[in-house]
Amino acid sequence: MKIFKGNIVHTPTKDTFEIFENQYIFVSEDGLVQEIRKELPQGMEQEVIDYTDKLLIPAYTDLHLHPFQYPLIGNGYDRELLEWCYRYCAPAEMLSAEEATERKVCQAVIHDLWKYGSLHSVHFPTVSEHNVDTLMQMLDESGMFAYVGKSQDDLALFAENADETTEESMQAALRLAGKYKDSRRVRYIFTVGWSLDASDDLMRQIHDAALMYQAPFQAHLDENRTEIKWILERHPECRNYAETYEKCGVFGKEVKTVMEHCIHTTEEEIAMMRDNGVYVAHCIHSNLDIMSGIMQLRRYIDEGIRVGIGSDISAGHTLNLTDCMRAAVQASKMLAVRTGKLPVSMEEVFYLATKGGGSFFGKVGSFEPGYQFDALVIDDSSLSLPIQYTIKERMERYLYCGDDRQIIARYVLGEEIREPAYIA
Domain end, chosen from 361, 379, 404, is at 361
Residues 348 and 378 in one domain: no
Residues 263 and 340 in one domain: yes
pLDDT for the residue 288: 98
Range of the domain at 196: 60-361
pLDDT for the residue 416: 98
pLDDT digits (tens, 9 = 90+) for 374-422: 999 999 999 988 899 999 999 999 999 999 999 999 999 999 999 998 7
pLDDT digits (tens, 9 = 90+) for 340-370: 999 999 999 999 999 999 999 999 999 999 9
Residues 20 and 169 in one domain: no
Residue 310 lies in a domain: yes
Residues 405 and 300 in one domain: no
Residue 139 lies in a domain: yes
Residue 424 lies in a domain: no
Percent of the chain with pLDDT over 90: 92
pLDDT digits (tens, 9 = 90+) for 98-109: 888 999 999 999
Query: Structural domain tally of the chain?
Result: 2
Half-sphere exposure in the Cβ direction for 29 (13 Å, CA)? 0
322: pLDDT strictly greater than 70: yes
Residue 12 lies in a domain: yes
Residue 423 lies in a domain: no
pLDDT digits (tens, 9 = 90+) for 276-317: 999 999 999 999 999 999 999 999 999 999 999 999 999 999
Asked whether the beta carbons of 168 and 129 are under 8 A apart, the reply is no
pLDDT digits (tens, 9 = 90+) for 45-84: 889 999 999 999 999 999 999 999 999 999 999 999 999 9
Residues 252 and 240 in one domain: yes
pLDDT for the residue 93: 83
- For the chain, the first-to-last Cα distance in angstroms comes to 38
Asked whether the beta carbons of 347 and 15 are under 8 A apart, the reply is yes
Residues 270 and 388 in one domain: no
pLDDT for the residue 14: 97
Residues 55 and 85 in one domain: no
Question: Which distant-in-sequence residues (6+ apart) come within 8 Å of 277 by Cβ?
Answer: 252, 253, 256, 257, 306
10 three-class SS: strand
Backbone angles phi, psi at 370, to 5 degrees: 90, -10
Residues 357 and 262 in one domain: yes
Q: CATH number, domain at 276?
A: 3.20.20.140
Residues 77 and 196 in one domain: yes
Residue 303 lies in a domain: yes
Residues 177 and 93 in one domain: yes
Strands (E), 318-424: 375-378, 407-412, 415-416
Residues 108 and 204 in one domain: yes
Q: CATH number, domain at 386?
A: 2.30.40.10
Domain end, chosen from 318, 345, 361, is at 361
204: pLDDT strictly greater than 80: yes
Q: What is the pTM of this model?
A: 0.97
Residue 422 lies in a domain: no
* Residue 240 DSSP symbol: S
Residues 369 and 355 in one domain: no
